[in-house]
Amino acid sequence: MDGTQDVQGKEQVSICLRYVDKELEPHEVFVGLYEVPGTTGEQMAKLVVDVLLRLNLPISRLRGQTYDGAANMAGKFNGAQAVLKKEQPLALYVHCGAHCVNLITQCACSASPLVRDALQWVHDLGTLSNQSGKFKGVLAGHGIGEGHIKSVKPLCPTRWTVRGQTVDTVLSQYEAILTSLEEMALAVSDSGPRANGLLERFLKGKTVLGLLVASEVLGELECLNRSLQKQSETVRGMQAAGAYVTSILQEKISDEKFQELFEKAEAMVEKLGLEPVQIPQQRAPPKRFTGKASHHQAKTPEEYYRVEFFKLLDCLDLQFSERFNQPDLEKLRKIENILLSGILDDAIEPYFEIDREILKTQLPMFRSKCPVSTTREAVEVLRAMPREVRGLFDEVEKLIRILIVVPVSSAEAERSFSALKRLKTWLRSTMSQQRLNNVSVCHVHQATLDKIELKDVGQQFISVNDRRRYLFGVFK
């Protein structure tokens, strides 16, 4: 579930349901958009319960919930997840994995002033390109050989996978951007002063170094973010993917890696004739911190900015360990250990759908013939079994369903906001809530809508009353 405002300023909440089919394949289905009078955790929880009741889905079967990290959704005491868990304790809450990676990226980039400032200049350049058609035309006129100049986009915090692409775009056409800013700075227009200020920033070698350092980590983070938005992603897969990316980032914590980046920045600075990378003015810390000892001062720019590079990677490692170790994930980890080890414990005691005594018999049988190391392997094994053999492990299958039915991200709800912007525009701002909900469901599920027989729709329409049957006749 996630919320946004429509063109009228009304709060629209998108709700999606995740379920597992007979082939143990997870699906995420958009249910609809609902208007809420307020955005408190209690009101959001009431909306979820109301939607489930209208769909004849008992809340006793709810096994997982995923939202972003907003206080009204993720609050420990009064958030929507906490209110729902009071009514259904088995509805484990998972902070959306894609949101987590986005927050990790923002926090890490803010930890290093070198990267933070460089990304801010890129954002300002994208804003100038969006607001000034003249600058966009000037930039498009400076082609590199036969190549095509790409437009620079602002770094919107709600768009999860644009930072790395935009940074790479700026680095690949840095010379064309400098030339365009020079022409705009000399032009008599309102954009001239902004272009002149950005030109001064992009002429500094420090900006190039900051963009190269940012590009070194943004690629892996955005690949992880894109992966976690898939419907087939599971909690176990989310943690494994996060651990894999963390290990790759840790391998970059070396003097050799930063030296390679610094040399690349120096080569680019020399080629474009930019201001060399220099050590900024270093202020001496107060005596109460250093005592009689002299404070450390970097002797070279490489030594000074190496600290910024390591600070960025250390912050990433800390953020991953904090955001991917959520409390309810530990409960799911215990349930998975039952499947992988075959040793029962109290973790499955609250799940009334599982017969503990039967599972105690089926689990050793399953593991003796099919030893698995992950939940995904167990799913593949069950799919490959004949129907009669698979029926021997119905309780094991229920255990697997619990593990893969918990949603990892709320990306499906985020995608429905694109449909909202297309459907409820300023020309159709008076659309009723019921019509908006019906139209949005039809728009999102276009493939399903195409399978419906139009004659059946017409027959149902005219069968409502005698007057319609008299006017329209009968469809044959």
Q: What is the DSSP string of 95-155?
A: E-HHHHHHHHHHHHHHH-HHHHHHHHHHHHHHHHHHH-HHHHHHHHT--STT--PPPP---
Grade residue 476 by pLDDT with cuts at 50, 70 and 90: low
Strand 11-20 and strand 26-35: pairing? antiparallel
Q: Where are the domains of the chain?
A: 1-95+410-444, 101-281+297-323, 333-406, 451-476
pLDDT at position 350 is: 92
Percent of the chain surpassing pLDDT 90: 61
Q: Let me know how many helices (H) and strands (E) the chain has, helices first.
A: 24, 5
Greatest Cα pair distance in the chain: 101
User: Most confidently modeled of 279-293, 309-323, 450-464?
Assistant: 309-323
The lowest-confidence range among 200-209, 295-304, 338-347 is: 295-304
The single-letter code of the amino acid at 476 is: K
Q: What is the DSSP-derived secondary structure letter of residue 277? A: P
Average pLDDT over residues 177-190: 87
Alpha helices in 301-432 (DSSP H): 301-323, 327-341, 356-369, 375-384, 387-390, 394-405, 411-423
pLDDT at position 143 is: 60
pLDDT at position 243 is: 92
Specify the DSSP element, H or E, that contains 258: helix 255-272
| CB of 111 closer than 8 Å to CB of 312 | yes
Average pLDDT over residues 244-253: 93
CATH of 1-95+410-444, one of 3.30.420.10, 3.10.150.10, 3.30.300.30, 3.40.50.720: 3.30.420.10
pLDDT at position 146 is: 47
Rounded CA separation 411/231 (Å):
9
Helix (H, G, I), strand (E, B) or coil at 28: strand
Q: For 111-168, write each residue's pLDDT tens digit.
A: 999 999 999 999 999 999 888 888 888 888 776 554 577 888 888 777 777 888 899 9
pLDDT at position 12 is: 94
Q: For 265-275, write each residue's pLDDT tens digit.
A: 999 999 999 99
Q: For 365-420, write each residue's pLDDT tens digit.
A: 999 888 888 888 999 999 999 989 999 999 999 999 999 999 989 988 888 998 99
State pTM to two decimals.
0.86
pLDDT at 315 > cutoff 50 = yes
What does the angle CA 114 – CA 115 – CA 121 come to, to the nearest 5 degrees?
Answer: 95
From the CB of residue 401, how many other CB atoms can be counted at a distance below 10 Å?
Answer: 17
pLDDT at position 117 is: 94
pLDDT at position 246 is: 93
Rounded CA separation 155/110 (Å):
14
Rounded CA separation 372/147 (Å):
51
Angle between helices 433-444 and 411-423 (to 10 degrees): 120
Question: In terms of pLDDT, which residue wins out, 283 or 45?
Answer: 45
Query: What are the structure tokens assigned to 71, written together?
Result: 């206080």
Mean pLDDT score of the chain? 89
Helix (H, G, I), strand (E, B) or coil at 185: helix
Rg of the chain over Cα atoms, rounded to whole angstroms, equals: 28
Distances, alpha carbon 3 to alpha carbons 351, 411, 440, 441, in Å: 31, 12, 15, 16
Query: What are the structure tokens assigned to 420, written together?
Result: 């909202």
Residues 6+ apart with CB under 8 A from 364: 342
Distances, alpha carbon 399 to alpha carbons 216, 237, 357, 359, 391, in Å: 41, 17, 13, 9, 14
pLDDT at position 135 is: 84
Question: In terms of pLDDT, which residue wins out, 189 or 115?
Answer: 115
Specify the DSSP element, H or E, that contains 14: strand 11-20
pLDDT at 325 > cutoff 90 = no
pLDDT at position 211 is: 95
Percent of the chain surpassing pLDDT 70: 98
Residues 6+ apart with CB under 8 A from 195: 128, 135, 181, 184, 185, 187
Helix (H, G, I), strand (E, B) or coil at 402: helix
pLDDT at position 293 is: 66
Residue indicated by tokens 């094994």: 381
